[in-house]
Chain A
Amino acid sequence: MSLNLVTLLYLLASVCFIQALKGLSHPTTARRGNTFGMVGMALAVVTTAALILKLSDMKAAGLSYVLLGLVVGGSVGAIMAKRVEMTKMPELVAFMHSMIGLAAVCIAVAVVAEPAAFGIHEEGVVGLPFGNRIELFIGTFVGAITFSGSVIAFGKLSGKYKLRVFQGAPVTFSGQHALNAILGLSMLGCGIWFVATQEWMPFVIMAAIAFVLGVLIIIPIGGADMPVVVSMLNSYSGWAAAGIGFSLNNPMLIVAGSLVGSSGAILSYIMCKAMNRSFFNVILGGFGQEGGTTTGKQEQRPVKSGSSDDAAFMMSNAESVIIVPGYGLAVSRAQHALKELAHKLGEKGVRVRYAIHPVAGRMPGHMNVLLAEAEIPYDQVFEMEDINPEFRETDVVLVLGANDVVNPAAKTPGSPIFGMPILEASMARTVIVNKRSMASGYAGLDNDLFYMDKTMMVFGDAKKVLEDMVKALEAL
C-alpha cells in the first residue's frame, strides 16, 4: 500500500466527515450523514491499520496493542452511548471532550519520545524538525486545557459532586486574571524553550501549567453559562485534533479538527448571542454572583394564580396553543406528560406548537432532543425566529419552567437583559405560566410577564401540573 494511496483514502474519509456534518441540515438526511461519518472513520482506521502492517513488515504484533485499546475504549463508549439519559447529554459531551484532550496530550508525548515511528524524523537531523516542535507545543497545550477544562465542566453540569470547583456557582478570587495571565505567559515561555531545545523538562512543565490553566479558565464561569462553555470546549477539542494533525503531517486530522473547531466556535457564538452576552464577558466569568444581589430589592406584587383545571379549561377552549418549554420541564422529567397533554388538546381540535429558545436546556439544541425523546413530532417544534410573529395570533401560551427567555424586560432599555432575544409570549391573548415558586431566573430579574392581567400562574412541579391538566381534559 503506497503512501499516495493512503493519503487518497484519507482524503475520501475527510469528504465523508464533511458529508456527516452536511447531513445535519435536516432531520431526514441526518441519519445518512451519520452513516457517512461512520464509514469515513472506519476507512481511516482500516487504512491506518494497513499502513502499520506495511511499515512493520507485515508483523501484526504492534496492532494487537491497537486492538486492546480499541476493544476497551470501544466497549466503554458503546455502553455509555446506550445508557445515557437524554437529560445527561451535556455531561456526556463534556466527558467526551476531555477524552479528546487527554488523547491529544498522550499522542504528543509519544511523538516527542519517538518521532521516527511517525515518519516525521528527518534523516541526519537530531530530534524533531523545527516546525513540528511548534505544532506539538500547540497541540499539547490545547489538548491539556481541553482535558482539565472539560473535567470541571462535567462536574459543574452533573452537580453531584461536593468539591467546590464542581459547584455551579462561579469560583472567583482577587488576582484571578493576573494569575491566569502569568501562567499563560510562563506556559508560552516553556513552549519556546521546548521548541528551541526539544528537552523533556520544558515540555512537562508546559503541559502541567496547561492542565492547571484549563481548571482556572472554567471555574469562574457560572452554571447558567454552561451552554457556552460546552460549545467552547467542543471547539478546543477540534483545534487540539488539528494541532496533532499538523505535528503528524496528516491532512485528514487537520480537516476533521478544523471542521470540529469551527463548529464549536459557531455554536459558542450562537449561544452568546442568544444570552445577549459577549464571548469575553462569559469567559471572564462571575456572572452568577451579580444575579444574586439584584434579587433582594424586589417589592411584592400581586399575581393571579389558578389551578391546573382552570388552565386545562382555558386551553381546551383555545384555537391555538404555543408551549414554551424550559429546562425546568426536563428536570422534572415532564416531557412525556407534556406530549400527552398536547395529544389530548390535538384531539379537541386545538392547534398545538412548541417554541424553543436557543438556550433552553443545558447545551445547544438540548430541548429539541428532549422533546424528540418524548416522540413529539419535530414539525410542531419551532425555532424562536420562526414562531415569534405567531404569538400575536395565539390564544394561549403555556410557559413551562422558563423565565428569562420570556421576560419582556429584554425590550426595555436599561434592563440588564436589554437586547436579549426573547420569545414574545407576552403578545399572546392569554398566558399560563407554570413555575415552582416566584423565584427569579438565572439573570436574577423579576419578570413582568408574571404580573400581567392576562397571565395566570399555576404553581407546582411541572410533571404534576401537566398530569393534572391531562386528567382535567379527560373529564371535560
Chain B
Amino acid sequence: MEIVSHTVTNLIIFVLAIYVGYHVVWTVTPALHTPLMAVTNALSAVIIVGAMLAAALTEGNLAKWMGVAAVTLASVNVFGGFLVTRRMLEMFKKKDRATGTEKAETAGAKH
C-alpha cells in the first residue's frame, strides 16, 4: 500500500492545531492579552529545536553558523518570553495577596 506523504500528515496536524488554538485563545480573558502575546513569543521560539539540529549536526560552515545564530535568536525568546510573562503574572498575583491581607486586617479589626 502507498504510504501517506509527510506533507499530508503535517497538514492534518496543522489544521487540527489551528482548531485547538482558535478555541483555546477565545477563552483567554482580555485582561491577560499582553501576557498571552509574551507567552506566544516564547512558544513560537520552539523552532529552537530545528536550530539545535542545524547547529549540532551540520558540517559546512554556512549551515553550522546559521544554526548557531538561530539558536541564539530563539533562546532570546525562550528565556525572555517566559520570564517576562512570569513577571507580568506576578503583578496580577501580588494584588491578590494585597487585597487578601487587607481583607484579613479588616476582618481582624472587626473582631
Cβ–Cβ contact B52 & A260, under 8 A: no
Cβ–Cβ contact A107 & B47, under 8 A: yes
A contact residues, range: 35 or more
Q: Which residue of A lies closest to B5 (CB)?
A: A131
* Chain A residues with CB below 8 A from B74, complex form: 73, 99-100, 103
Least CB distance from B32 to A in Å reads 5
Cβ–Cβ contact A30 & B32, under 8 A: yes
Least CB distance from B11 to A in Å reads 8
Cβ–Cβ contact B38 & A89, under 8 A: yes
Least CB distance from B72 to A in Å reads 4
Interface residues of B in 10-34 (CB under 8 A from A): 10, 13-14, 17-18, 20-22, 24-34
Given contact pairs A41-B78, A106-B67, A117-B58, A77 touches B83 in the complex (Cβ within 8 A): yes
Q: Which residue of A lies closest to B82 (CB)?
A: A38
Most buried by A among B28, B46, B63, B67: B46
Partner of B50, one of A28, A76, A250, A266: A250
Cβ–Cβ contact A49 & B24, under 8 A: no
Q: How far is the CA of A343 from the CA of B103 in the complex (A)?
A: 14
Given contact pairs A117-B53, A245-B10, A259-B43, A372 touches B20 in the complex (Cβ within 8 A): no
Given contact pairs A34-B86, A241-B47, A74 touches B62 in the complex (Cβ within 8 A): no
Q: How far is the CA of A90 from the CA of B27 in the complex (A)?
A: 22
Q: Which residue of A lies closest to B6 (CB)?
A: A249
Prevailing SS type, chain B contact patch: helix
Q: How far is the CA of A240 from the CA of B47 in the complex (A)?
A: 9
Given contact pairs A99-B77, A378-B92, A240 touches B83 in the complex (Cβ within 8 A): no
Q: How far is the CA of A131 from the CA of B64 in the complex (A)?
A: 24
Cβ–Cβ contact B67 & A34, under 8 A: no
Q: How far is the CA of A365 from the CA of B55 in the complex (A)?
A: 37
Q: At the interface, yes or no: A441 with Cβ under 8 Å from chain B? A: no
Cβ–Cβ contact A34 & B44, under 8 A: no
Cβ–Cβ contact A74 & B78, under 8 A: yes
* Chain B residues with CB below 8 A from A106, complex form: 51, 54, 66-67, 69-70, 73
Interface residues of A in 225-272 (CB under 8 A from B): 230-231, 234, 237-238, 240-242, 244-246, 248-264, 266-267, 270
Q: How far is the CA of A376 from the CA of B98 in the complex (A)?
A: 9
Partner of A369, one of B21, B35, B94: B35
Cβ–Cβ contact B50 & A244, under 8 A: yes
Q: At the interface, yes or no: B60 with Cβ under 8 Å from chain A? A: yes
Q: How far is the CA of A31 from the CA of B88 in the complex (A)?
A: 10
Q: How far is the CA of A107 from the CA of B34 in the complex (A)?
A: 28
Given contact pairs A251-B13, A368-B30, A131 touches B6 in the complex (Cβ within 8 A): yes
* Chain B residues with CB below 8 A from A33, complex form: 39
* Chain A residues with CB below 8 A from B92, complex form: 27, 30, 372, 378
Cβ–Cβ contact A70 & B80, under 8 A: no
Q: At the interface, yes or no: A366 with Cβ under 8 Å from chain B? A: yes
Given contact pairs A117-B59, A258-B21, A73 touches B50 in the complex (Cβ within 8 A): no
Q: At the interface, yes or no: A66 with Cβ under 8 Å from chain B? A: yes
Q: How far is the CA of A114 from the CA of B64 in the complex (A)?
A: 9
Given contact pairs A259-B17, A260-B44, A365 touches B63 in the complex (Cβ within 8 A): no
* Chain A residues with CB below 8 A from B78, complex form: 41, 45, 73-74, 77
Cβ–Cβ contact A118 & B57, under 8 A: yes
* Chain A residues with CB below 8 A from B77, complex form: 77, 96, 99-100, 103
* Chain A residues with CB below 8 A from B79, complex form: 73-75, 77-78, 81
Partner of A246, one of B10, B29, B64: B10
Q: At the interface, yes or no: A435 with Cβ under 8 Å from chain B? A: no
Q: At the interface, yes or no: A188 with Cβ under 8 Å from chain B? A: no
Q: Which residue of A lies closest to B71 (CB)?
A: A69
Cβ–Cβ contact B47 & A18, under 8 A: no
Cβ–Cβ contact A69 & B39, under 8 A: no
Least CB distance from A219 to B in Å reads 22
Cβ–Cβ contact B46 & A364, under 8 A: no
Partner of B20, one of A18, A92, A131: A18
Extra pairs beyond A114-B60, A117-B57, A365-B31 (20, CB < 8 Å): A41-B82, A68-B72, A69-B55, A69-B67, A74-B75, A77-B83, A89-B84, A106-B66, A107-B51, A107-B67, A113-B60, A113-B66, A251-B13, A256-B46, A259-B40, A260-B21, A263-B40, A364-B33, A365-B33, A368-B34
Q: A interface vs B, CB < 8 Å?
A: 13, 17-18, 20-22, 24-28, 30-31, 33-34, 37-38, 41, 44-45, 48-49, 52, 55-56, 62-63, 65-66, 68-70, 72-78, 80-82, 84, 86, 89, 92-93, 96-97, 99-100, 102-104, 106-107, 109-111, 113-114, 117-118, 129, 131, 135, 230-231, 234, 237-238, 240-242, 244-246, 248-264, 266-267, 270, 356, 358, 363-366, 368-369, 372-373, 375-379, 381, 383
Q: What are 13 of the A-B contact pairs (CB < 8 Å)?
A: A17-B46, A27-B31, A34-B82, A44-B48, A63-B56, A81-B83, A86-B88, A100-B74, A114-B63, A244-B47, A258-B20, A259-B17, A260-B43
